[in-house]
Structure 1
């Protein structure tokens, strides 16, 4: 369970594969035209513990893992 992905020297997570079956879509259409650009944005969980948006190809965007307390 403690299998955290590697981190680059500048602090970014090296994982691009989302956790399977953990993708959700945010539909902000009802929030009005100002937030319409968020329409259809997809988010998924990374094994490092951070939830981030997905690229068009279904990969996780570049992100930093959550800070350890």
Structure 2
């Protein structure tokens, strides 16, 4: 049943819409000063299995699918 994710010719995932209900915002203050650059970033699950960050418009950033 697991279909291979759509991949562009250069090896990047073609999915732009996150899985509904998986969007989370990271609190960088709780992680410490080393990870403060992550504060406020939103991450969501992709159907391919990765968890990339989101753009301002709520779409997944360009990413490569996981190696299986």
Shorter-chain TM-score bucket reads 0.7 to 0.9
C-alpha separation between the residues in 1 aligned to 2:51 and 2:63?
9
- Aligned equivalent of 1:6: 6
TM superposition score normalised by structure 2:
0.86
Are residues 1:20 and 2:20 paired?
yes
Q: Show structure 1 runs of 4+ deviating over 4 A.
A: none
Within 5 A, what are the aligned runs for 1:24-35?
A: 24-30=24-30, 31-32=32-33, 35=35
Give aligned pairs, total. Answer: 67
Uncovered stretches (5+) of structure 1, i.e. residues with no partner: none
Q: Distance in 2 between matches of 1:35 and 1:15?
A: 27
In structure 2, what is the Cα distance between the partners aligned to 1:4 and 1:46? 13
- Provide, for residues 3-51 of structure 1, a one-character-per-residue CA deviation record: whole Å limited to 9, x for no partner: 443101110000000000001111112412x533321111000000111
Higher fraction of strand: 1
